[in-house]
Structure 1
Amino acid sequence: MSKEQQIHGLRPIIEAIENGEEISKIYFLKEGNGVLFNELKHKAKQANIATSYVPEEKLYKLTKENHQGAVAKLSPVKFADLEIILETTDMTANPIFLLLDGITDVGNYGAIIRTAECTGVTAIVVSEKGSAPINATTVKTSAGAVFNIPICKVNHLKDAIYLMQAYDIALVGANEKASESVFESELNKPIGIIMGSEDRGINPSTLKILDQQIKLPLKGTIGSLNVSVACGAILFEAIRQRMF
Structure 2
Amino acid sequence: MALTLYLHPLASFCHKVLIGLYENGTAFEPSFVDFSNPRSAAAHIERWPVGKVPVLHDSARNRVVAETSIMIEYLQQHYPGPVQLIPREPEEQLDVRLWDRFFDLYVSVPMQKIVGDRIRPEGATDPYGVAEAHATLETAYDMIERQLDGRSWVTGETFTMADCSALPALFFGSIVHPLGEGRPQSRDYFERLLGRPSVQRVLAEAQPCFKFFPYRDAMPPRFLEPVT
TM-score for the superposition, normalised by structure 1 = 0.26
Q: Which of the pair is proportionally richer in strand?
A: 1
Q: Which of the pair is proportionally richer in helix?
A: 2
TM-score for the superposition, normalised by structure 2 = 0.27
